[in-house]
Structure formats: C-alpha cells, structure tokens
Structure 1
Amino acid sequence: MNHEIKVFKGSDHVVKIPFGCHVNLNGYRAWMQLRRSPFSEEVLDELTTENERIKIHDDHFVLVFPHETTSAWKFKRAVFDIKVISPNGGETRMVEGRILVIPGVTR
C-alpha cells in the first residue's frame, strides 16, 4: 500500500497507517527508514518497535514522530517503507510511501 504522510515540522505527530488486511503479527518486529530517495544511502530517520516509534496492531501500524525529532529534520520530503520481521527472521515489506514536512510559520 502506498501512503502520504504530512508532518508539521517541530510538532508531535502520531499517524495510523493501515496495511489493508488482518494479519496475525504477534511476535513480529517492525522497521521503517526515511530516505531522500529509494537509492539514497543516507538514513534521515528510523522508526522501530524497539525504539517504540512503531506499534503493531491487528490491521494497522501506529507511527510516532516526537517534536524533538521533527524539529531537527533538515529535509522537506522523504520516502519510506515499513518491513515486518517474523520471529524466525523473515522480512516482509508491508507499506511504502512518502513524507511531506510542513514548515511552521509561528515561531
């Protein structure tokens, strides 16, 4: 599934991303990286279940973007995908999309 996320720079932002089907992901981990393009080596931000910025639910992910992180972002756009890792180490790409960072006006 392809998604567009709009994040207000410098704000706390929580996003619910459906993955379109009910799947039992008990015991799975999730991993998401933001990059300028799919071919970029530089990782702009990384969310995981381990750093508690991704939560897995029955049919969606919850992504957490704290203001401390979004304030430091120097980019305006990024691409991402979310992979789940099974307990035996298998990886499946569940979601992809892009992020648009909206700059603040009130300072």
Structure 2
Amino acid sequence: MHAKKEKNVLVLEFCDDMFYIATYWKEQGGSVPQYHIVYRQNKNWHVQPLSFRKTPFSLKGAGSKRIPIARPQIISWTTGHWKNMAVFFRDEERRSRLSVVFLHLVHRAA
C-alpha cells in the first residue's frame, strides 16, 4: 500500500489499447515522493517507479506551499515490438528545468 499523494496528479496516455499513467507519490514509510508509471498489460496492473529523486517534501502545515516537482506528462510510441515512453517533468532538484526520462517498458507480442 502506498502513502497518500501530496497532491492529486495524474496524466493518462492511451496507445494501442493500453493505458499509461504518469503520477507521483511517496511510498509508505518513505520520505521522498517519486514519479511512477502505472500501466495495464495482460489484464494486470504494473507500477514502474522512477526512483531518482533525493529531496523530501511535505505539504503539511498551514498556508499555501510551493510544490518542488511538477505534474509529469507522458507520451508513448511503438518501435518494432517495444513500447517506448517519455516522461517530461520539472523538479527543483534539476533547477526547475524541463527534464525527460525515456523508458522501454512493455514488450509487445509478435
């Protein structure tokens, strides 16, 4: 089970009858929210964490607080038998510049 998200963020990509969700949350017992890709393949849900963040943050307490990471955006495309994805995001760890992570997650059946 996962800890409650700091903020409800979700981006959905639909391609080749598959759903890809880019979001972030803090794992139960963890202190650092991480980006995750959630996808459904062969009637099963899978989670691919992108565990590169090092800076914890919390929105607890009074008043409005600035979120140090942005809602991720995801795109997907097919190359041969492979499903490729790119996740775009902004993070203060990266001086709030646009960053991208490329993934090759899902092998399509021939």
**TM-score normalised by length of structure 1:** 0.37
| Higher RCO (Cα < 8 Å, 6 or more apart) | 1
